[in-house]
A and B are shown apart, each in its own frame.
Chain A
Amino acid sequence: MIRRFVELFDEREPPHALAAVRILVALVTLFDLAVIALSDLPAWLWAPLAEGGSSPAADAATGPLVYRLIWGLGFGAYGLWAILLLSLLCFGAGFFTRTAGFVFVFTYAATAMVNDPADRGIDRAIRIMVLILSFSAAGKVWSIDAWRKTGSFRGDGAPESAWPRYLVFAQLVLTYAAAGLSKGSPLWLPWGGYVALYVILRDPVYANADYSFLAEPLPFFITQCATAVTHAWEVCAPLLLLAAHYRRTADRPGRLRALFNRVHFREVYVTFGVIFHLSLAFTMRLGIFPFAMLAFYPALFRPDEVTGFVDRVRSFFSKCWARRRLGAA
Chain B
Amino acid sequence: MRVPSWFSPGLLRALRAGVIALVVLFSVIAAIPTPGNFTHETLKQPTVREQLLLWLRILNVLGSSVTEQELGDGYVAFAQGLQRVRRTLLKPYNGLSRITGTQQGWALFATPDTRPARLVVRARIGKRVRLLYRSGDAEHDYDADFLEYRRVRALYNPSRSGPPATYAGFAERLSERIFDAFPDAREVTVSLEYNRITLPGEAEAGEAEEADKLSFRRKAE
Measured CB to CB, the residues of A under 8 A from B are 5-6, 8-10, 35-36, 39, 41, 44-45, 49, 52-57, 64, 105-106, 108-110, 112-113, 115-121, 123-124, 127-128, 131, 163, 167, 170-171, 174-179, 181-188, 191-193, 195-196, 198-200, 202-207, 210, 215-217, 220, 285-289
The answer to whether A182 and B107 have CB atoms under 8 Å apart is yes
A101-B108 Cα distance, complex, nearest whole Å: 26
Write the chain A residue with the least CB distance to B144. Answer: A285
B195 — which chain A residues lie within 8 A by C-beta? 204
Q: Determine whether the beta carbon of B31 is less than 8 Å from that of A178.
A: yes
Is the CB–CB distance between A6 and B106 below 8 Å? no
Interface contact B152-A44, CB-CB below 8 Å: yes
Interface residues of B (CB under 8 A from A): 13-14, 16-17, 20-21, 23-24, 27-28, 31-33, 51, 54-55, 58, 98-114, 116-119, 135-138, 145-146, 148-155, 157, 164-166, 169-170, 172-173, 195, 197, 199-200
B23 contact set on A, CB distance < 8 A = 167
Output the residue of A127, A200, A203 with the most chain B CB within 10 A.
A203
Q: A9-B16, A220-B200, A287-B150 are in contact. Are A54 and B166 (CB under 8 A)?
A: yes
Residue of A nearest to B101 (CB): A109
State whether B112 touches A179 (Cβ < 8 A).
no
The 10 closest A-B CB pairs, nearest first, are: A204-B136, A109-B101, A54-B169, A287-B150, A182-B33, A117-B164, A182-B110, A178-B106, A178-B31, A199-B112
Contact B99 A174 (CB under 8 A): no
Do residues B13 and A178 form an inter-chain contact, with CB atoms below 8 A? no
Contact of B55 among A49, A176, A186, A285 (CB under 8 A): A186
Complex Cα–Cα for A206 and B109 (A): 11
Say yes or no: A179-B106 contact (C-beta < 8 A), given A9-B20, A53-B169, A113-B101.
Answer: yes
A10 to B18 alpha-carbon distance, docked (Å)? 12
Q: How far is the CB of B76 from chain A (nearest CB, A)?
A: 15
Number of A-B contacts (CB under 8 A): 193
A252 to B4, CA, bound (A): 42
Main secondary structure of the interface of A (DSSP, over half): helix
With a cutoff of 8 Å between Cβ atoms, the chain A residues found around residue B119 in the complex are 205
Known pairs A6-B14, A183-B110 / 8 extra A-B pairs, C-beta < 8 Å: A49-B169, A106-B100, A112-B101, A128-B102, A170-B24, A174-B27, A187-B114, A210-B138
Nearest CB on A from B212, distance (A): 14
Q: Could you tell me if B136 and A210 are in contact, using CB atoms closer than 8 angstroms?
A: yes
Inter-chain CA distance A120–B75, complex, in Å, is: 27
Asked if residues A109 and B99 are in contact (CB atoms below 8 Å), the reply is yes
Taken together as a complex, chains A and B put the C-alpha atoms of A188 and B33 apart, in Å, by 15
Bound-state Cα–Cα, A49 to B128, Å: 30
B13 pairs with A124, CB closer than 8 A: no
With A9-B20, A185-B111 in contact, do A106 and B99 touch (Cβ < 8 Å)?
Answer: yes
Q: Which residues of B contact A109 (CB under 8 A)?
A: 98-102
Q: Is B100 a contact of A9 with CB atoms below 8 Å? A: no
